[in-house]
Structure 1
Amino acid sequence: MATQAVERTPGTTDEKSYCIKRDIETSTREAETDENVVLQNEREIATHVISVDDDPSLNPWTLRALFIGLGLSAFGGSLAQIYYFKPQTVFVSVMFLAIISYVIGFAMETFIPRHGLLRYLNPGPFNKKENAFIIIMASAAANSALATEVLAVQRLYYNITPNAGSSIFLLFSSQLLGYGIGGLMRGILLYPSKMLYPGVLPLLSMFDALYRDGSEARRKLKVFYIVFTAIFLWEIFPEWVFPLLTGLSIFCLAAPHNATVSRVFGGSNGDEGLGLLSLCFDWQYISSNAGNPMTIPLKAQLSSFIGYVLCIVVFATVFHNNIWESRNFPFLAQLLFYENGTVYNQTLILNSNYEVDPTLVAEQGLPFYAGTWIIALLTTNLALAATFTHLLLWNKDDLRAAWTWMNMDTLRSWRANFDWKFWEHSGKREVPANTEDLDPHYREMLKYPDAPNSWYLLTFVLSFIVGLVVIYKTNSTLPWWGFVIAVLLASVSILFFGALYAITGLGLSIQTLVQMIAGYLHNGRPMANMFFVLYSYNTVSQALLLLRDLKIAQYAKLPPRAAFTAQIIGTLLGAVLNYVLMNSIIDSQREILLSVQGTNIWSGQQPQSYNSQAIAWGGLAHELFSTGQRYQWVPLSYLIGLVAPLPFWIIHRYWPKLHMDYYYTPIICSYIGGLSVGINSSVVSYYMVAFLSQWWLRTRYPRWFVKYNYLVSAALDGGTQVMVFVLSFAVQGAAGAAHLFPEWWGANQGGNYDHCLSL
């Protein structure tokens, strides 16, 4: 449209108005241009998808936040431990806690009067930082601590009941040890933009929609509520009324009595098959496959897809060629078996001291694993080893900062400035003169007093000392030097696997690696193996949880000291509740927990599995996994994994146009064994959603991607998890007898839901 020129006299009001108008138009055009830019890196995603703005006047230190936080911590910690002993495990998710805390906080703001003593429970509008404080406290509590698994195995299989004091301190030390190490690594694993933590983006996108004012925020909130309500109502069908939607397979419907079809194309039930070309319409399983598919970066998605394709080929080859006598055992299984395919009775090879007796092993024979589970163990080791090499080749500059303190000048400075009165630390941080290179979210956090390194160091030291004492007070059979090795191994692993998780959103479990190491260090002592895993694998898991929650705090601009306080309170409260409920359930349901099948209400499947792994690795590592033995390639694969990233790096160095830097070797290796357990019918749907979101929407419609991708993913997760929680108690037996939907074609209650042959 033509515009009429306006003559302006310098210095007049007309000129000033024109300049203001020009600035507004210029900024508007820039904003529109920004909205249409395809987001390419972590910094662009973190600054475009999540608001960088901060309101320092918002106060998280309210009695209301503490009240809701303690209540949800008690709820989440209790529920997590109850579900540990259930045949159907439901995890209390951060998204679920966020939605519930928002509802409770908004209700308190609305209905509690703001006068008298009640004003402390309703000091004003429920704000974003209160909500973040509550979520971090509750999520720290809403996990079943691995130490309760160790204590449960001791009680169930070894008739050892450590005293309450030792048990509680075991829980405290094992849960907080990783917090101390992870906190000391915040400079490299938390503050930089590259450490994106994709899994928390939907939560923060939802926060922006809930708490920001303006018409744009109201439109986003409307979209959130519509999607949330739609998926909430939809989940009734695949979860209860029409479970065939969990895995719709044309091949299963065409050949319902063919065992090969079931193994390859089936996947709607646990350990059924590979789910090839099955379509899943249940967001619970799509989102739980490897995290929300709308949040994982495309590079990581592509690498996992390559691994998924290779997994189908490798699993089919191993079973078809009867490698490791695979045809004698179920196609997908995690238990130990006799050679004839029956379940191995591990108690028959233990002596009175609950150590493996070679004479009894000779009588029973060595156990077997399903071939696919051996591939899972093998590829896990490949991935773990490849992680070290991959990050050293491609991310050495990112990791170098983690070790910059290891020089004499830094150590002398620490000693000169050390003050044992850590509680008097002001928390003030030096702001660099040039802050352009800092992550914008971290830059906003510099105004708040920090939770200094001395706090995390003290957490680590106390946890280390307490852990060293309790391994002797709880009859762990783990010597002090084994404990030290476990902690050192965890410290190195946190750096590498923490970086991989922060960058890609995909985490790798080091459990098999540390079980293997412990098996050779403490051969014949399965209980020592369990405690070694506790203080290594669990330490890494806790460190990653701490860093993830601190990233939530950084994105939400929650002051560091509030985040530290919330995490410590939530962790300690959750550990105590875990212990109390674990003892109560074992006292009342001991026989059921020891049975192979359990009931539809209680099951000991998880402590059984943990104990079986401890027997195999802790008691029979040399007999099963050493060179020349049946499963020798499981530990040898670690050496292969160390060199696996080298071809990609060499090709990229000489032929960069091939873009070998686009692939994550550890993720490819990990996903080669990724279909070894669980419901696999969701994989095709997962990648369809992933590429639709992270490629098509991000590159074709970047404006929509920025505004709605993470918001919609949050609504899908939130609505699904609330309905799954409701159905778990209402009809799926979490609080008593299950009430399955009446049998019909879409609800094949007597077999696999996709109508494939039950093997």
Structure 2
Amino acid sequence: MADRREAELVPHLAQRESELDYDEKNLGHEVDKEIDAEHGTYVVEVGDEGFKVAGHMELGTDEEEAKRLEAVYHAMSLERTIKIINELVLMHRDDPNFSGALLQDMIGFLNNPDIVASPDKHAGIIGAMKMEAVLATENSPYVEVRANVDPTDDPDMPASTIRAWAIGIVFCIIGSFIDNLFGFRNPAISIGTNVAQLVAYPIGVFLARVLPDWRFRLFGEHSLNPGPFNKKEHMLISIMANISFTAPYTYYIIPVQAMPQYFNQSFAYNRGYQLLLSLAVNLFGYGLAGLLRRFLVYPSIAIWPATLNTVALVKAFHQKSNEAVPGPFGRMYRASREKIFLVATLAMFVYFFFPGYIFQALSSFSWMTWIAPDNVTLDAVAGVYGGLGLNPWPTFDWNMNTLVGAGLYLPTFAIANQVVGIIIAAIMILAVWFTNTWNTGFLPINSNGTFDNTGSRYNVTSVLNAATGKLDETLYRSYSQPFFSAGYIIYNIWAFASYTASFSYVFLFYRRDIVRGFKGVYRNLFHKGEEEELEEDIHYRLMKKYREVPDWYYAVLLVLPIAFGCAAVAGYPTHAPVAALFYGLILPIIFILPLGIIQAVTGIPVALNILANVIGGAITAGEANALMYFKVWGYLSSWQALSFCNDLKLAHYIKIAPRITFSAQIVATLIYSVVSSLQYNFIMSIKDVCTSDAAFRFTCPAQTSFFTSIIFWGIISPKKLFGKGQQYNMMLLGFPLGFIMVGLYWVLRRKFPKSSFLRQVHPVMLCMGPVSVAAPYNLAYYISNLYVNLFSFQYIRKKYLAFWVKWNYVIGAAFSTGIALSALVIFFALQIPKGGTLAIDWWGNNVVNLGCEGQGGCPRLDIPEVGYFGPAPGTYS
């Protein structure tokens, strides 16, 4: 029997060697029994019992799960172990979330034929590889997922209950109303999903205690009170809140079309138009998300790191077990997840009053510029509001981060690569600014504004024909070319690079996963072929107990929103071609899968807004409305589709039936669309709204920026920026830059396959650094994420894994919740009664407004005596 097994396995190993594309010489070594802590420290001891894990919490599991894994371990054969490890190597060879050292140990295991010939001599490595095979098939290969997601399910646990739907619907109405209304304010106020999760729990528990168990039948049996409020109900409410607790894209489009200070188009006040456009905009992403779920939701490699905070918060309230864990200072910590969440929420709620209201200098801690507030160079380099934020300690405010709390849930490689990208971009910005390239020395170093040749904000209406609203070439030539700051120029170059880098990176490193996904689709459609061992992880196998949503449902959601959009565009005097909608579909068709894979693995979204501006502006030159509709399909559709994939992953992790999730998403979106569309006329009727005189700071900064962008890209058009002979033509070199970066990286990875450093380099994240902190944001808005992440992931996780597993994500969710609650109290209780006053009048709040920092940056050069810089009016076209 042993000889036959060896004869079968050795050719199998040889066949796989050719697929690994690694320099595998001298890799047939024995691995240590201890697997590194980065992946999930554990020690497998093989003796008479055959299995022993030194501390089950070191696996990122609880005691019950550890016992289940032990039973599976005993049943795991060597043949099956080799097969699974083969698939793991192929799946994770380019996965930066997977331990590089462990991957090399796996390759060594596969390339050592003596293991098959003499398994008794290699008990240690066989035990370790068996454990990895067990974790990969029965839980997750990632400790972050094991820490938060249970690999078990109770199919009898109700999710679609009357109380869950009631709470979810009420939350959708309130959340949609508040977020859309205060999206017109500066700064905006948003409730946030974490607040909905926090409030939903006591309401759900209260209803479970007081409601009677009245049962009735309507498409099945239902009860007013089916038992204790559970995690599936809680997550269903969270998913509905996640959809509706934000301002929709129409809050840009409709006010900009309707209001007199913008385009003054009366048809945009029509409620029928507002509703049709809202439904078209908000529903379209579902079709794409549903059709891509086999690539972006089901695979275990699609972690979606940003979902883990949400899952951790639900788990904190519903976890029954509470094991003591060892932690810092040699102590055992026994506090439950729920207690830690409540304590951390209260602590952050109180603390945020200081940087948020009492002492705002703690938020933008630009201490170096306080030394010499009027020093232009110092502010350009170190300023938080006016410069590049090259400040080693720029804030004491958790909310200051561009991605709030990302340090506690994004992987280290993603944050570190972004910070390196930001620093590279900062050096480029300084070089451009100090050399006055593109006349940037006459402007602030890091602004997202558009300027004229006097250094003033570009007055887009001064180049428009008063009768037609289109660009007047004579007015344009007599006024000024548009000019960008150094920071905005470098941001655009890296944005262009991020698109080509994403596309080429996914092709070179994830094409096997894409092929694997298509094979799964083929098998599901035609029931042909044998599944690979890791084709479907434990979570997907558990979800197969539930009826899937038919693909034609999602196909309908591709067609129906397009119909709504065509009706809105063609049925009202928009003067825009319906074709703009269909042109916009080209972008998501090309980019959504690569961008989705990047976001699912790294947690960082790559938005298509800049590319949509460039391509849409070129196609629809002179047509402002056409560009708006192009962007809806070209940019927003992919953004929303990936957001819906994120929600599908939440349901996947908690094991909510797909049809229930689908229903919840559709209901939440319909409520979200109807409520927001019914608000617009009310909001636009507020006295002085969207002007500097607006009460409660309803000055519409987002809408004004959108208006400027549409005029700039849609009417002036990219041809006057990037066309042949135009001043910003060289910025298009960002597109080949992305290809070159990924190509060089691919060559280096193949030349040095065992380099742990190269494994943590991610060219797309390097590009996304300067894109994530687009002007006027800078390093100050991100560096604290790196500090937090290094402390959490590289110190606490490696030294106290059980402690980290239990509390890391709970604390992240708690801090976000505390800030959201505190911000609401500050606004409604302290600012509104004072007529919108932002803070207390004292040095700790006023120092941030001194000098160049208070002006958002100062130019380095004075305007020449002729009164303008750059080409003379009339000498350009």
TM-score (norm 1): 0.87
Aligned residue number for residue 222 of structure 1? 339
Query: Which runs of structure 2 are paired with 1:516-555 in the superposition (5 Å)?
Result: 516-555=614-653
Query: 1:756 and 1:158 mapped to 2: Cα distance?
Result: 31
Deviation at 1:373, TM superposition (A): 1.2
Q: 1:726 aligned to 2:825?
A: yes
Deviation at 1:563, TM superposition (A): 0.7
Cα 1:587–1:54 shift into 2, 3 Å: same
Cα 1:215–1:698 shift into 2, 3 Å: closer
Aligned residue number for residue 812 of structure 2? 713
Cα 1:683–1:32 shift into 2, 3 Å: closer
Cα 1:573–1:756 shift into 2, 3 Å: closer
Aligned residue number for residue 264 of structure 2? 159
Deviation at 1:607, TM superposition (A): 1.5
Secondary structure of the equivalent of 2:450?
coil
Q: 1:319 aligned to 2:433?
A: yes
Cα 1:528–1:434 shift into 2, 3 Å: closer
Are the equivalent residues in 2 in contact too, given 1:349–1:361 (CA < 8 A)?
yes
Deviation at 1:329, TM superposition (A): 2.2
Deviation at 1:486, TM superposition (A): 0.8
Aligned residue number for residue 608 of structure 1? 704
Query: 1:220 and 1:533 mapped to 2: Cα distance?
Result: 43
Query: 1:238 and 1:433 mapped to 2: Cα distance?
Result: 54
Secondary structure of the equivalent of 1:215?
coil
Deviation at 1:573, TM superposition (A): 0.8
Q: Which amino acid in the other structure matches residue 339 of structure 1?
A: N
Cα 1:187–1:232 shift into 2, 3 Å: same
Cα 1:596–1:510 shift into 2, 3 Å: farther
Aligned residue number for residue 408 of structure 2? 294
Cα 1:655–1:278 shift into 2, 3 Å: same
Aligned residue number for residue 4 of structure 1? none
Aligned residue number for residue 367 of structure 1? 482
Structure 1 unaligned segments of length 5 or more: list them.
1-21, 418-428
Aligned residue number for residue 631 of structure 1? 728
Are the equivalent residues in 2 in contact too, given 1:247–1:753 (CA < 8 A)?
no
Q: Which amino acid in the other structure matches residue 767 of structure 2?
A: C
Deviation at 1:295, TM superposition (A): 0.7
Deviation at 1:546, TM superposition (A): 0.5
Deviation at 1:222, TM superposition (A): 2.1
Query: Which runs of structure 2 are paired with 1:42-121 in the superposition (5 Å)?
Result: 43-44=141-142, 45-112=144-211, 121=224
Deviation at 1:472, TM superposition (A): 1.8
Aligned residue number for residue 128 of structure 1? 231
Query: 1:482 and 1:757 mapped to 2: Cα distance?
Result: 39
Are the equivalent residues in 2 in contact too, given 1:265–1:276 (CA < 8 A)?
yes
Secondary structure of the equivalent of 1:747?
helix
Cα 1:757–1:529 shift into 2, 3 Å: closer
Deviation at 1:245, TM superposition (A): 1.2
Cα 1:133–1:526 shift into 2, 3 Å: same
Q: 1:468 aligned to 2:566?
A: yes
Are the equivalent residues in 1 in contact too, given 2:213–2:226 (CA < 8 A)?
yes
Deviation at 1:577, TM superposition (A): 1.3
Deviation at 1:401, TM superposition (A): 4.1
C-alpha distance after superposition, 1:678-732 (max 9, x if no partner): 4753433221101111222222322222222212212222222221222222224
Query: 1:691 and 1:321 mapped to 2: Cα distance?
Result: 36
Q: Which amino acid in the other structure matches residue 670 of structure 1?
A: M
Query: 2:644 and 2:598 mapped to 1: Cα distance?
Result: 15
C-alpha distance after superposition, 1:251-288 (max 9, x if no partner): 23433332222222221x4x5652522331111123x4
Aligned residue number for residue 92 of structure 2? none
**From 756, 760, 769, the counterpart of 1:662:** 760
Query: 1:255 and 1:70 mapped to 2: Cα distance?
Result: 53
Q: 1:514 aligned to 2:636?
A: no
Query: 1:169 and 1:32 mapped to 2: Cα distance?
Result: 52
**From 643, 646, 651, the counterpart of 2:743:** 646
Are the equivalent residues in 2 in contact too, given 1:278–1:682 (CA < 8 A)?
no
Q: 1:575 aligned to 2:682?
A: no
Secondary structure of the equivalent of 1:629?
coil
Query: 1:604 and 1:714 mapped to 2: Cα distance?
Result: 29
Are the equivalent residues in 2 in contact too, given 1:255–1:756 (CA < 8 A)?
no
Are the equivalent residues in 1 in contact too, given 2:405–2:816 (CA < 8 A)?
no
Cα 1:758–1:682 shift into 2, 3 Å: closer
**From 346, 349, 356, the counterpart of 1:239:** 356
C-alpha distance after superposition, 1:364-410 (max 9, x if no partner): 2222222211221221111111110111111111223455599xx89
Deviation at 1:758, TM superposition (A): 6.5
Q: Which moved more, 1:472-481 or 1:748-757?
A: 748-757
Deviation at 1:749, TM superposition (A): 6.7
Structure 2 unaligned segments of length 5 or more: list them.
1-46, 67-95, 100-139, 217-221, 324-333, 858-877
Deviation at 1:143, TM superposition (A): 2.3
What is the count of residue pairs matched by the alignment? 714
**From 470, 482, 500, the counterpart of 2:580:** 482
Secondary structure of the equivalent of 1:70?
helix
Q: Which moved more, 1:292-301 or 1:474-483?
A: 474-483
Are the equivalent residues in 2 in contact too, given 1:291–1:506 (CA < 8 A)?
no
Are the equivalent residues in 2 in contact too, given 1:139–1:570 (CA < 8 A)?
no
C-alpha distance after superposition, 1:157-212 (max 9, x if no partner): 22222432232112111211111111100000110111111011012112222112
Secondary structure of the equivalent of 1:642?
helix
RMSD between aligned alpha carbons? 3.0
Secondary structure of the equivalent of 1:395?
helix
Aligned residue number for residue 299 of structure 2? 192
Q: Which moved more, 1:190-199 or 1:579-588?
A: 579-588
Secondary structure of the equivalent of 2:406?
coil
Cα 1:461–1:34 shift into 2, 3 Å: same
Q: 1:145 aligned to 2:248?
A: yes
Aligned residue number for residue 424 of structure 1? none
Are the equivalent residues in 2 in contact too, given 1:87–1:599 (CA < 8 A)?
no
Deviation at 1:542, TM superposition (A): 1.0
Q: Which moved more, 1:698-707 or 1:119-128?
A: 119-128
Deviation at 1:756, TM superposition (A): 7.3
Q: Which amino acid in the other structure matches residue 235 of structure 2?
A: A
Q: 1:498 aligned to 2:596?
A: yes
Aligned residue number for residue 13 of structure 1? none
Query: 1:441 and 1:648 mapped to 2: Cα distance?
Result: 33
Aligned residue number for residue 132 of structure 2? none
Deviation at 1:291, TM superposition (A): 5.5
Deviation at 1:72, TM superposition (A): 0.5
Q: 1:358 aligned to 2:473?
A: yes
Are the equivalent residues in 2 in contact too, given 1:166–1:470 (CA < 8 A)?
yes
Are the equivalent residues in 2 in contact too, given 1:338–1:367 (CA < 8 A)?
yes
Cα 1:264–1:601 shift into 2, 3 Å: same
Q: Which amino acid in the other structure matches residue 369 of structure 2?
A: C
Are the equivalent residues in 2 in contact too, given 1:299–1:663 (CA < 8 A)?
yes
Deviation at 1:627, TM superposition (A): 2.6
Q: Which has the higher contact order (CA 8 A, sep 6+)?
A: 1
Query: 2:450 and 2:55 mapped to 1: Cα distance?
Result: 62
Deviation at 1:240, TM superposition (A): 1.1
Deviation at 1:641, TM superposition (A): 1.9
Aligned residue number for residue 303 of structure 1? 417
Query: 2:471 and 2:55 mapped to 1: Cα distance?
Result: 70
Q: Which amino acid in the other structure matches residue 473 of structure 2?
A: P
Secondary structure of the equivalent of 1:672?
helix
Aligned residue number for residue 458 of structure 1? 556
Query: 2:849 and 2:816 mapped to 1: Cα distance?
Result: 28
Query: Which runs of structure 2 are paired with 1:271-420 in the superposition (5 Å)?
Result: 273-286=388-401, 288-289=402-403, 292-351=406-465, 352-401=467-516, 403=518
Are the equivalent residues in 2 in contact too, given 1:290–1:506 (CA < 8 A)?
no
Q: Which moved more, 1:75-84 or 1:217-226?
A: 217-226
